[in-house]
Amino acid sequence: MLPSLPFDPSLVLIGGSWRSTTDTLPLVNPSDGSTLCQIARSTEADVDAAVAAAQSALDEAWGRMSALERGRCLTRLGQLVLEHTDLLTTLETLDVGKPVTQARADAIALARYCEFYGGAADKVHGETIPYLDGYTVYTLREPHGVTGHIVPWNYPMQIIGRSVGAALAMGNACVLKPAEDACLTALMFAHLAKEAGFPDGALNVIPGLGAQAGAALARHPGVHHLSFTGSVQTGRIIQTLAAENVVPVTLELGGKSPQIVFEDADLDAALPFLVNAGLQNAGQTCSAASRILIQRGVYDTVAARMAEAYHAKRIGPAESDPDIGPLVSTKQKMRLETLLAAAQNLPCIAETPMPADLPREGAYIQPRLYGPVPPDHPLAQDELFGPVQVLIPFDTEDEAIQIANGTIYGLVAGVWTDSGARQMRLAKALKTGQVFLNNYGAGGGVELPFGGIGKSGHGREKGFEALYGFSTLKTVAAKHG
Ligand code: ADP
């Protein structure tokens, strides 16, 4: 059951006012299948109103606000997020099925994004450029205007923090479309943003279906930049819609990220990262380490120790703070079961025990560790988005690089080795947006630019880099003789 809320979850926030929509959708708790509440099913008319409200904010108070004041609003918002960590944690736990400790970490990360971008808002500036005699030339960093943010259900708070936080810092007015499976923390964030003093229309939130509200936002001619995190299929649709309006898009589309373990690695240090980066959030993480490449001499040891860790994990309803909760929905569970049909002939070396008393209507799936798996097998190539990892043995460094780079994705990679020279070689050779040497940071790192290559997408979020993505550069050339 939902705790009492300071907002009505069936409403949308447009231009600073909570409004009803013509229709609603049920929001389900994936831990037990119960309906938590009704949420808005925004229509094209709601999207039009939200985009118009964002544009008005740019034309009025929000557009006139100094970078310093924008930063202060964000910093206050970060403080309010911290003060409401308990409620945000409960909402995410119920809505996404995320274990309490992991949901709390996301709430704290959301506060961190607000603090980071609050502090950065007045520190992004242009340059002066030496040009011809008699000229002064400089550049200005300006907001795109109205930015559309289409957010998935796996890490709502972190993804809102990294995209909306950076966009607001640069003075854009945001229209946020949270996922239909998880939108309570987005609404709570909007409630807190009002309290933090953001002018009306600086942040608008319109829950609804992807194909309806999401598509209407992506093709809206009044939107000047789109940020999307989600599946490759949907990313392709969004980029195509954005192309009609010729607007820039940031796409973060997941991956099949490897961790590579060499024989000289510190296995005690590596082990928790190898397993947890695959099972965190029940494997529903864009940067999940879903492939573990292991050098032949330590293959048996690493496989046995990972299997042990799988057996020791606890599955349960998210509210009981297990290691692994349910998937976000029965739709995701069915999708994963279909993909796992391809694994029938693969050796499954560990399954986490499923407690007999799990709620029958919950979206639980048994975590599974497969190995050895041929690198070109569908299970080692396709993003599964569930608590499943594959182990792939290799002999040489070159072979490891070839296997690691041998998917359509390129988001994150981890390398475990004692050799500094090898660390440097792999950091260059791996075709990904991030490389972790002797650590692995699935999802973390507010300060660290993040994004992919290949089918993992393009553009960078997080860190200072995101501020460049959420702004446009104007060159001013003055001739004064
Ligand atoms: P999933 O299928 O796991 O929900 P998606 O990538 O489809 O993953 O969803 C991520 C986000 O994209 C959600 O907010 C969803 O509502 C939205 N979305 C889904 N389909 C579309 C679409 N055709 N146009 C715009 N947004 C969409």
pLDDT in tens, 41-100: 999 999 999 999 999 999 999 999 999 999 999 999 999 999 999 999 999 999 999 999
Same structural domain, 267 and 412:
yes
Both structure tokens of 320: 């009981």
Same structural domain, 357 and 248:
no
pLDDT digits (tens, 9 = 90+) for 119-162: 999 999 999 999 999 999 999 999 999 999 999 999 999 999 99
pLDDT at 1: 85
Question: Is 110's pLDDT higher than 90?
Answer: yes
CATH of the domain at 96: 3.40.605.10
Same structural domain, 293 and 382:
yes
Domain assignment present for 99 = yes
Written as one string, the DSSP assignment of 175-225 is EEE-BTTB-HHHHHHHHHHHHHTPPTTSEEE----IIIIIHHHHT-TT--E
Instruction: Please tell me the distance between residue 206's alpha carbon and the centre of ligand 1 in angstroms.
Output: 14
Question: Is there a cis peptide before residue 9, judged by omega within 30 degrees of 0?
Answer: no
Contact 172, 252 (CB under 8 A): no
Q: Which atom of ligand 1 is nearest to the CA of 229?
A: 10
Question: Is 448's pLDDT higher than 60?
Answer: yes
Ordered strands of the 289-295 beta sheet: 348-351, 368-370, 388-394, 289-295, 257-261, 412-416, 434-437
Contact 308, 471 (CB under 8 A): no
pLDDT at 442: 55
Mutate to test the pocket of ligand 1, among 41, 232, 234, 334 (most ligand atoms within 8 A of CB): 234
Taking the C-alpha atoms of residue 407 and residue 399, their distance in angstroms, rounded to an integer, is: 14
Domain assignment present for 466 = no
pLDDT digits (tens, 9 = 90+) for 312-323: 999 999 999 999
Question: For residue 368, what are the domain limits?
Answer: 258-445
Residue with CA nearest ligand 1 atom 14: 179
Domain boundary among 229, 253, 277: 253
Same structural domain, 128 and 235:
yes
Domain assignment present for 7 = no
Same structural domain, 417 and 268:
yes
Same structural domain, 203 and 269:
no
Sign of CA dihedral 337, 338, 341, 342: negative
**Phi, psi (5° rounding) for residue 252?**
-120, 110
Tell me the average pLDDT across 453-472.
Answer: 97
> What is residue 73's DSSP assignment?
H
CA 31 to chain centre: 21
Q: Which atom of ligand 1 is nearest to the CA of 180?
A: 16
Same structural domain, 212 and 271:
no
- Radius of gyration over alpha carbons of the chain, in Å? 23
Tell me the average pLDDT across 430-443.
Answer: 90
Same structural domain, 245 and 280:
no
Question: Is 28's pLDDT higher than 70?
Answer: yes
Name residues contacting ligand 1 (CB within 6 A): 150-152, 177, 179-180, 210-211, 214-215, 218, 230-231, 234, 237-238
Domain assignment present for 456 = no
Dihedral, 226, 207, 80, 196 alpha carbons, nearest 10: 70
CA 210 to chain centre: 16
List, by residue number, the catalytic residues.
Answer: 252, 286
Domain assignment present for 475 = no
Domain boundary among 233, 253, 273: 253
CATH of the domain at 413: 3.40.309.10
Residue with CA nearest ligand 1 atom 23: 211
pLDDT at 347: 97
Amino acid at site 273: F
Domain assignment present for 231 = yes
Same structural domain, 227 and 133:
yes
Q: How many domains does the chain have?
A: 2
CB atoms within 10 A of CB 50: 34
Same structural domain, 75 and 131:
yes
Write down the mean pLDDT value for the chain: 97
Q: Which atom of ligand 1 is nearest to the CA of 233?
A: 6
Tell me the average pLDDT across 428-444.
Answer: 90
pLDDT at 342: 86
Instruction: Please tell me the distance between residue 262's alpha carbon and the centre of ligand 1 in angstroms.
Output: 38
Residue with CA nearest ligand 1 atom 13: 179
Residue with CA nearest ligand 1 atom 7: 234
Q: Which atom of ligand 1 is nearest to the CA of 235?
A: 6
Instruction: Please tell me the distance between residue 416's alpha carbon and the centre of ligand 1 in angstroms.
Output: 35
Residue with CA nearest ligand 1 atom 27: 210
Domain boundary among 253, 283, 307: 253
Question: Is 436's pLDDT higher than 70?
Answer: yes
Q: Which atom of ligand 1 is nearest to the CA of 332?
A: 3
Taking the C-alpha atoms of residue 406 and residue 403, their distance in angstroms, rounded to an integer, is: 5
Question: Is 447's pLDDT higher than 70?
Answer: yes
Residue with CA nearest ligand 1 atom 15: 210
Instruction: Please tell me the distance between residue 367's alpha carbon and the centre of ligand 1 in angstroms.
Output: 25
Instruction: Please tell me the distance between residue 179's alpha carbon and the centre of ligand 1 in angstroms.
Output: 7
Domain assignment present for 49 = yes
pLDDT at 296: 98
Where residue 414 falls among pLDDT bands split at 50, 70, 90?
Answer: very high
pLDDT digits (tens, 9 = 90+) for 220-251: 999 999 999 999 999 999 999 999 999 999 99
Residue 89: name the closest of 110, 113, 107 by CA. Answer: 107
Mutate to test the pocket of ligand 1, among 25, 42, 44, 150 (most ligand atoms within 8 A of CB): 150
Q: Which atom of ligand 1 is nearest to the CA of 178?
A: 14
pLDDT digits (tens, 9 = 90+) for 342-388: 898 999 999 999 999 999 999 999 999 999 999 999 999 999 999 99
Dihedral class, residue 258 (left if φ above 0, else alpha if ψ from -120 to 50, else beta): beta
Percentage of residues of the chain with pLDDT beyond 70: 99
Instruction: Please tell me the distance between residue 176's alpha carbon and the centre of ligand 1 in angstroms.
Output: 13
Instruction: Please tell me the distance between residue 210's alpha carbon and the centre of ligand 1 in angstroms.
Output: 5
pLDDT digits (tens, 9 = 90+) for 454-463: 999 999 999 9
Taking the C-alpha atoms of residue 127 and residue 117, their distance in angstroms, rounded to an integer, is: 21
Same structural domain, 93 and 218:
yes
- Start-to-end CA distance of the chain, whole Å, equals 71
Both structure tokens of 423: 């660390």
Question: Is 23's pLDDT higher than 80?
Answer: yes
Residue with CA nearest ligand 1 atom 11: 152
Domain assignment present for 472 = no
**Phi, psi (5° rounding) for residue 324?**
-135, 125
Instruction: Please tell me the distance between residue 5's alpha carbon and the centre of ligand 1 in angstroms.
Output: 26
Taking the C-alpha atoms of residue 468 and residue 167, their distance in angstroms, rounded to an integer, is: 10
Question: Is 443's pLDDT higher than 70?
Answer: no
Tell me the average pLDDT across 385-402.
Answer: 98
Same structural domain, 192 and 312:
no
